[in-house]
């Protein structure tokens, strides 16, 4: 009891930390992307690549970007790395507290034949494997090709127009790279959908991509910047390649951001993740969000494509249509009326073991999410949520541990729709 109570606090503290660090990280990353696009590259001193004026929070700011590096190493020089590391550390801790410690309830699929420990092992293995595959790809001919495409798009290039042009070439030429990464992710999503419960599949893929993003910062981007700083201290030349390597990873992170954010909040939307093809839906959402990111990247360089908006809107509506619930069917077609008493019997049988003031299910000290369904009034108060969790989707009962039948779900649906 005490342990469950303390775990709740731990989970809350970690979640807050995770969100705050994540906002700081992604916020800074969005800001620097925007900055890069908005720099005034024409009216500058010799060593300056671009400058920007901004007004914010009641003051004027003036920023300058150097073509190479300043003559002396500035003190203090601000780095952006702890936001990323704290996001990952708190994220992994959350994954453990929520999904690993209660693997039978939260991680594994209802009919999974593997043990909790094995499941946790497979989840961790996925985090490692995806990074290794991704990193290899980046270093392979394919990735190097993308990098050499980026050659003249180095951060050191001065001319704004050619830089933009090359950047667009880079994006189109990396199509193969993107396709491979997409297929690898789809493979993982499919694989995990066979052993994990649908909600955990989304979290697993989100954690895998998030891990790659942080590993990019830790293993590539920060080391590249350290070399830049060394070059500045010793006034040596920096190779063009160096900047490109960091740039490529940071570009990838930019595209990963929106899908990861989606996966992190997807847990509240069982109608999206809990269908039979949850993994395929996930891939569709990832594709749409990458296109959204791409649209804004193009827009940032003044090349917005309206056709891309059209594709995004049409595919979003197609997805909404594909996921729309089918009409409720009962075995007894004539039975059109379900009374509240009948609904209550079903809910008592399948939900109240957890959703009561004092759950009889020992895994819970208090009603999960504070939702109690032990009286008629409370059932009525929560009927929309019940509909969402148990009729539109099969998210509840959790991993269907009380063996609720489709017939019972349909009956609940008929009662809720009539009220």
User: Rule CB under 6 A: which residues touch ligand HEC?
Assistant: 267-268, 347, 350-351, 353-355, 361, 368-369, 371, 382, 385-386, 389-390, 396-398, 401-402, 404
Q: Measured at CB, which residue is nearest to ligand HEC? A: 351
Task: List C-alpha distances in Å: 262 to 109, 127, 210, 255.
Answer: 21, 18, 12, 13
Of 283 and 392, which has the nearer Cβ to ligand HEC? 392
Closest CB 363 distance from ligand HEC, rounded Å:
7
Q: Using DSSP bridges, classify how beta strands 48-56 and 59-66 pair: parallel, antiparallel or unpaired.
A: antiparallel
282 and 201 in contact (C-beta within 8 Å)? yes
Q: Is 170 exposed, middle or buried (0-12, 13-18, 19+ CB in 10 A)?
A: buried
φ/ψ of residue 314, rounded to 5? -65, -45
Closest CB 370 distance from ligand HEC, rounded Å:
9
Of 284 and 363, which has the nearer Cβ to ligand HEC? 363
3-state secondary structure of 62: strand
Of 174 and 207, which has the nearer Cβ to ligand HEC? 207
Closest CB 339 distance from ligand HEC, rounded Å:
17
| Side-chain-facing half-sphere of 230: CA atoms under 13 Å | 9
Of 94 and 386, which has the nearer Cβ to ligand HEC? 386
Which residues touch 29 (CB under 8 Å, ≥6 apart)? 80, 250, 253, 254, 257
Distance CA 68, CA 70 (A): 7
Residue 355 has what DSSP assignment? Answer: S
Closest CB 350 distance from ligand HEC, rounded Å:
4
Closest CB 281 distance from ligand HEC, rounded Å:
18
Distance CA 413, CA 419 (A): 10
Of 195 and 347, which has the nearer Cβ to ligand HEC? 347
Of 96 and 401, which has the nearer Cβ to ligand HEC? 401
Of 105 and 254, which has the nearer Cβ to ligand HEC? 105
Please spell the DSSP secondary structure of 308-339, one letter per residue.
HHHHHHHHHHHHHHHHPPPPP--SSTT-----
Distance CA 366, CA 416 (A): 26
Closest CB 270 distance from ligand HEC, rounded Å:
8
Task: List C-alpha distances in Å: 346 to 232, 339, 367, 386, 414.
Answer: 71, 11, 18, 12, 13
Reduced DSSP (H G I as helix, E B as strand, rest coil) percent helix, strand, coil of the chain, to 5: 70, 5, 25
Closest CB 121 distance from ligand HEC, rounded Å:
23
Of 251 and 382, which has the nearer Cβ to ligand HEC? 382
Quote the radius of gyration of the chain (alpha carbons, Å).
Answer: 26
Of 100 and 177, which has the nearer Cβ to ligand HEC? 100
100 and 200 in contact (C-beta within 8 Å)? no
409 and 333 in contact (C-beta within 8 Å)? no
Closest CB 311 distance from ligand HEC, rounded Å:
31
Closest CB 5 distance from ligand HEC, rounded Å:
15
């Amino acid at each position: 009891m005490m342990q469950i109570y303390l775990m709740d606090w731990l989970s809350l503290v970690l979640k807050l930390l995770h969100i705050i660090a994540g906002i700081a990280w992604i916020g800074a990353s969005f800001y620097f992307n925007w900055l890069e696009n908005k720099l005034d590259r024409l009216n500058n001193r010799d060593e300056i690549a671009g400058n920007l004026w901004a007004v914010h929070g009641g003051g004027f700011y003036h920023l300058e970007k150097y073509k190479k590096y300043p003559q002396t190493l500035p003190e203090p020089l601000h780095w952006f790395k702890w936001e990323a590391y704290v996001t990952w550390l708190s994220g992994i801790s959350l994954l453990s507290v929520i999904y690993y410690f209660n693997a039978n309830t939260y991680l594994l699929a209802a009919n999974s034949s593997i043990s909790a420990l094995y499941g946790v092992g497979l989840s961790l293995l996925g985090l490692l494997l995806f990074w290794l595959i991704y990193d290899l790809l980046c270093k392979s001919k394919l990735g190097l090709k993308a990098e050499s495409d980026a050659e003249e798009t180095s951060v050191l290039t001065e001319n704004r127009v050619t830089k933009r042009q090359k950047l667009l070439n880079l994006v189109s030429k990396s199509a193969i790279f993107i396709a491979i990464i997409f297929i690898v992710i789809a493979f993982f999503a499919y694989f995990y959908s066979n052993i994990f419960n649908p909600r955990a599949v989304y979290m697993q893929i989100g954690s895998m991509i998030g891990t790659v993003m942080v590993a990019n910062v830790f293993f590539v981007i920060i080391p590249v910047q350290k070399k830049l700083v060394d070059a500045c201290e010793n006034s040596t030349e920096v190779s063009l390649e160096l900047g490109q390597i960091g740039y490529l990873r940071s570009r990838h992170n930019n595209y990963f951001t929106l899908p990861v954010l989606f996966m992190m909040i997807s847990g509240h939307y069982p109608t999206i993740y809990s269908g039979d093809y949850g993994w395929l839906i996930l891939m569709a959402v990832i594709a749409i969000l990458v296109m959204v990111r791409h649209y804004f990247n193009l827009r940032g360089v003044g090349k917005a494509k309206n056709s891309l908006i059209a594709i995004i809107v049409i595919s979003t509506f197609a997805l909404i249509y594909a996921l729309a619930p089918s009409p409720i069917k009962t075995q007894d077609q004539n039975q059109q009326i379900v009374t509240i008493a009948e609904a209550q019997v079903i809910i008592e049988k399948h939900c109240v073991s957890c959703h009561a003031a004092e759950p009889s299910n020992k895994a819970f000290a208090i009603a999960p999410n504070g939702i109690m369904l032990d009286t008629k009034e409370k059932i009525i108060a929560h009927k929309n949520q019940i509909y969402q969790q148990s009729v539109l989707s099969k998210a509840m009962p959790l991993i269907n541990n009380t063996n609720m039948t489709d017939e019972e779900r349909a009956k609940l649906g008929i009662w809720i729709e009539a009220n």
